[in-house]
Chain A
Amino acid sequence: MNAAPAEQSTSRPWRPTRALRRGGALATVPLLAAVLIGQVELVLLAVPFAVGTALSLARRPVAEAQPSLSLDQPTSVENGEVSARVQVARGDDRVPLLCVVNTEVSEWIRLRHGAGHFASLLREADTSTVRLTGTAKRWGPQRIGPATVRLSACDGLLVAERTALPAAPLSVYPLTDMFDSEEMLPRASGVSGIHRSRRPGTDGELADVRLFQVGDRLRRINWRVTQRTGDIHVNSTLSERDADVVLVLDSRHEAGVSGGVDGPDSVADATVRAAAAITDYYTRQGDRVALVEFGARLRRLRAGTGRRQLLAALEWLVRLDIDVRNVGRAYAPGGRLFSTVLQPPGALVVVLTPMLDAESANMLAVLVRTGRSMVAVDTLPERIRPAYHGPWSPAGARLWRLERENIIDRLRGVGVPVEPWRGRGSLDQMLRHVSRLAVTSRVLAR
């Protein structure tokens, strides 16, 4: 799929360079000198300049060239290929053009030939292409460009005005690995799916063996128990339903310095990659996943399932904006306002938070008190260090960590399972917590 070309700028006519004037002068001055002093040898000086200039000008560009910058694909993933092209449209012209492209790119795009000037020869008629390929190193809204294109023809004797091309936006999705787990969700709902619900049904997992009742099908009779007890017993199974999952992303704080996909994580990296992995897992299972931003914007992606929802979620995640300037005074939406976006009430709530202030802990405590099934994923990277260094920094950092661990322990005490995110392997541990919630809710239901 070709992305639409970026906004086009106007073309410019060709104009002679200093080299053309120099070549013309050196093709005639030695001839005049040869005539004036009567030495034919001096004609030799003029010959290559006259021949070279004549050969170069023999084929001049016919049409005005119109460069444009476009992406081959408007999306990519971390460590994925990024490919853009500068296309020069010039009608039926086949005159070779020297095309010098100077491209700027986002911090996290690594072009194969490096950012900067790249020169290539354009020979084809109609539309010639200069390809720019590279790798995306971090999720987020990235760009290739703006770029400047300078075209020269006739071996540098004619040149077109430098053309500025606007940047082409590129969405780089966070990397998600394939993941599989057998853990079940606490509150399966809906009419179909793969999770065991609390309601009896057919063809699901074995829940109980009970006495035969009127209406039970004969094929559900458990003959072994019937023979042993003397009464007719049947197998009782639970129906299989899908589930609602709401991911809450605490976007109020950023900490740490991102090193891209191959380097250390910041809070935003951990949050987005964890959300992408969890969304990938549940949408693949057929569950409905919604995403909510716990921050000033309170953005929400409505629930959906399947690959389409995964792509929508990835695009939503790319736009996650964590303002590093608001650390310590970030806005937290009130409990009532926040609860309105956590729909449906029976959904499993997975909160991704670095827990850097009391508001995050309060939000978790309020949610668990309202009776929601929830899991907190701690997205503060392990090796994070304070931004300022001084003689008291190590002691201060240690105190802050102790205080934070204390808060987490208190949250666990009130029933909030907190699991630190340590890469994609953490998902299994998180799902184990989810599974425990499922068992707990079944026990409570009985």
Chain B
Amino acid sequence: MSVGDHVLVRRFRYYARRLDAWARRVTPVGLAVRAVVWLTGVAALVIAAAPVVNPVGGLVLAMVLASLATGWPGTIWVGLLEFAAVAALVVAVGQGVVSLVEVGLVAALLYLHHTTAALAAQVRTDTLLSAAVLRHWLARAGAVLGVSVVVGAGIVALPATQTDWPPSAYILVGVLAATAAAAGLAYLLLRRPESA
């Protein structure tokens, strides 16, 4: 039996052919969407985890998780990356080693990662996207981030103006806000839509 007939060689050829076929089908826009998923995922996790973990280890973890999320954007890997970033940021904020700007930056990056992954889960790398899809996605992401900046600024500024509140009031407001957010989203999802 020659080397070319070995099962590993045949298997390697098979995957090489599949890779070649994929490379022929892939579209630049499909790749760009995945690239955004990867870049925002890595950036968010690196910035969030840098103050609390080894930088090299954090970078490797970020790249591995981001690669998995990019390859399978409709699976649990996207959520794992985002929750890892949130957990790292919670620890960093608790230790007081991260600034407000960094929190805002991570929030923006995580949202971009989330919404791009939601788009990438619907389209494959060889999908030809019309320009209207990308325009709509960009406009919506920009609008969400713009509204979030305004809302976030108001939330951050609120405690500074109400310094005479007791700590329990902040806890109550926070719990109420979390409950309201969850209830509001559940209502939006479960309500019976009316005719336009």
Contacts and interface: CB of A to CB of B under 8 A. Distances in A.
A113 B128 CA distance: 7
B152 A43 contact: yes
A18 B74 contact: yes
Contacts, number: 211
Interface stretch (A48-56, A232-240, A393-401): A48-56
A22 B189 contact: no
Interface residues of A, number: 67
A157 B156 contact: no
Contacts of A96: 136
B94 A155 contact: no
A116 B107 contact: no
B55 interface: no
Contacts of A100: 122-123, 127
Given A51-B148, A94-B196, A119-B122, A41 B78 contact: no
A38 B174 CA distance: 9
A116 to B, nearest CB: 6
B28 interface: no
B195 to A, nearest CB: 6
A120 B130 contact: yes
A247 B138 CA distance: 62
Nearest to B79: A22
Contact of B133 (A16, A39, A57, A121): A121
Q: Is the interface of A mostly helix, strand, loop or mixed?
A: helix
A44 B155 contact: yes
A112 to B, nearest CB: 10
A159 B122 contact: yes
Given A41-B103, A45-B107, A155-B140, A54 B184 contact: yes
A59 B154 CA distance: 26
Given A43-B155, A47-B107, A47-B151, A119 B129 contact: yes
B156 A119 contact: no
Nearest to B48: A45
B114 interface: yes
B126 A116 contact: yes
A209 interface: no
Interface in B110-147: 110-111, 114-115, 117-119, 121-124, 126-130, 132-133, 136-137, 140-141, 143-145, 147
Contacts of A17: 74, 118, 121
Contacts of A58: 188
Given A32-B178, A44-B103, 16 more contacts: A17-B74, A18-B74, A33-B90, A35-B178, A39-B93, A41-B100, A43-B174, A44-B107, A49-B114, A51-B148, A54-B185, A55-B140, A55-B144, A100-B127, A120-B133, A123-B132
Interface of A: 16-20, 22-35, 37-58, 60-62, 91-94, 96, 98, 100, 113-114, 116-121, 123, 125, 150, 152, 155-157, 159
6 contacts: A32-B175, A47-B152, A60-B193, A98-B123, A117-B123, A119-B129
